[in-house]
Structure 1
């Protein structure tokens, strides 16, 4: 009799335990403020909900047990947290967000391979990642203001948005990404940052700032804009790129601005740029050569200290043409190509000038005639403004 009575009671208790466990694994938000809270999830192989590590969490938090998180993993303003990890979580369907964690020095996700979005900001003590399984899938990645020197452990195949900025110790970033479908922005990291995208074939928009080397050997198409601003690269080589931007809507620019050590730009196959092409204030750049460039949907704006640019294939410039150099240049070939029905359709300026910005006194590269400093300054300011406005107008047509 006793045994017969005990069996239903035991079954009842097991049922309660299973129900409680199921409820714990499926609650909308599981909040973790201690290791005990994290250990309560150990029986869950799948967590259907968000995991939030609260601001009271401190020391070491390890979320072991769950393999799949159908939700977000979020930790913000936990000033006492020093270590966060999981040996079991392999996928996060939502965002993995870490913000304002001043003492976090260890981030160890031993099995993580897939996450929808990575948002890491203000992690001043985090010097490295321990991601041995390697994250290969993510739609969006933002890593900003960390102490990381490398991003080993993140090696994506494709991504919509990738932003790496203000990581002052970051020295290398190499990834197998083949396609960036929205934007890539590498900005204001360490001055010695080497960036490598060996497999990148296509990107929507790309911006590089404050990097020492950029390797894009496979890049063939940029659907939007491609810009290099304030870098320390000696050379920018894209041997396979054929187009930047869209001819259909006149959008997508190509820019090289204020790269102080740049001596070489090599894009031998580049044929079309949907918007503008700008090369300005690259102090060490003495030559410009785009042997295949035939179409520019916006304006061409070159200023600096370089010899006569080589644009032998140029057939159609929808916008203006502003060519000003402090070195002697020959404008004769370009002089004959501007006007109604000709190659250059917008405002035309071509001259040797004493001011690389094109706003000081100078001489016309074709005739060599001199003008007074005052009149030339006024003329240059007016033409420069007209040129910019014309270029913008053409780019939006």
Structure 2
């Protein structure tokens, strides 16, 4: 029999059919016949593994609950995996490197601790309960065209990447407790999160639309790189708790609106968005506890309410922004002739043909003005950003861990 490590009590019964619960450490299914042996186990107390030589079709109908993991790895035979009874998986539902899977059909599955589906290049049909409870989801390298099978109001981590046919994602998520990473999916991907109020970390790339009309707070950082949207709006965002806001390399972007944003408890980076000619979209911004770095084709820069910047302010444009530089210089450190609203080094450069080439968030020093005897010109030329600027290390670590 394929079942391993059965408890003595189970063996005493002498029949799987007589059990409402079957307990074992790990069971490996290598055929439909072995899957059928679980048909009368209402609860599978352990982990189920579908082996690499399972055949083309596995029907796991029978169990309603798997308390451990449900795992498929390096399976080049399986094409259809389904169960008409399974309602929950207590651990991880993992499918990796299963390149022939066309269909996943679990019409009653509503609860999973974690989903990790990676390199399911043929998967184009997905049916779930729909799924309304999961702590973490990663979908990578599939052929899914929509994610209607998911109906989540809260999730810790959500990563969608390299799903080449995915062109629309709409979700009723209201909170994101971990990280939202969306990148390298289908052309013209539109993301709509109409009920999202609170998010921890966001890294968004290669999308054509990103709608967050109700978002009020970002606990960590929000990073938007290499997108295709022309406009971006966060009409209800008021502050970041401890993170940064970053827009880099969004070549079609020509307008942004942040009408209620007052505090960025981190840094602000706007760079190499070649269609963006004005930085006038922070009318209420009062405080930035990190650094500000602006690079682009700006003709005008205004921060009418900005009164405190703890880090450096480093601005450069390909256009003539002398008037904007003169206005910003009024807030420079006292050592540079300003009123001290900017506590770090202030630098503002106009007519710089290479302004769009310097787009990283690296750090050269603390951003504080040297109180020694070096001349003001040398002090002002330092490019200074916070060492923690934009949380790039944290985002990269999360992405690689998934």
TM range (shorter): 0.7 to 0.9
1:286 corresponds to 2:282? no
Q: Describe how 1:1-397 pairs up with structure 2 within 5 A.
A: 16-18=13-15, 21-22=18-19, 25-131=22-128, 133-246=129-242, 252-288=243-279, 289-329=281-321, 330=323, 331-340=325-334, 342-357=340-355, 386-388=382-384, 390-392=385-387
* TM-score normalised according to structure 1 size: 0.85
Deviation of 1:327 (Å): 2.1
2 CA distance for matches of 1:383 and 1:205?
Answer: 33
Summarize deviations over 1:324-349 as a string: whole Å, max 9, x none. Answer: 11222212221111113621111111
Summarize deviations over 1:338-391 as a string: whole Å, max 9, x none. Answer: 11362111111112123252779xxxxxxxxxxxxxxxxxx99x966x323x53
* TM-score normalised according to structure 2 size: 0.84
- CA-based RMSD of the aligned residues comes to 2.3
Bigger radius of gyration among the two: 1
Q: Which segments of 5 or more consecutive residues in structure 2 lack a partner in the other structure?
A: 1-10, 359-376, 392-402
Deviation of 1:309 (Å): 1.6
Q: Secondary structure at the match of 2:250?
A: coil
Paired residue for 1:365? Answer: none
Runs of 4+ displaced beyond 3 Å:
14-24, 393-396
Whether the aligned pair in 2 keeps the contact of 1:58 and 1:78 (CA below 8 Å) is: no
Whether the aligned pair in 1 keeps the contact of 2:80 and 2:103 (CA below 8 Å) is: yes
Q: Secondary structure at the match of 1:36?
A: helix
Whether the aligned pair in 1 keeps the contact of 2:272 and 2:356 (CA below 8 Å) is: no
Q: Secondary structure at the match of 2:386?
A: helix
Q: Secondary structure at the match of 1:387?
A: coil
Q: 1:383 to 1:209 in 2, by over 3 A?
A: farther
Paired residue for 1:8? Answer: none
Give the length in aligned residue pairs. 356
2 CA distance for matches of 1:19 and 1:127?
Answer: 34
Q: 1:236 to 1:306 in 2, by over 3 A?
A: same
Q: In terms of mean alpha carbon deviation, does 23-32 or 169-178 score higher?
A: 23-32
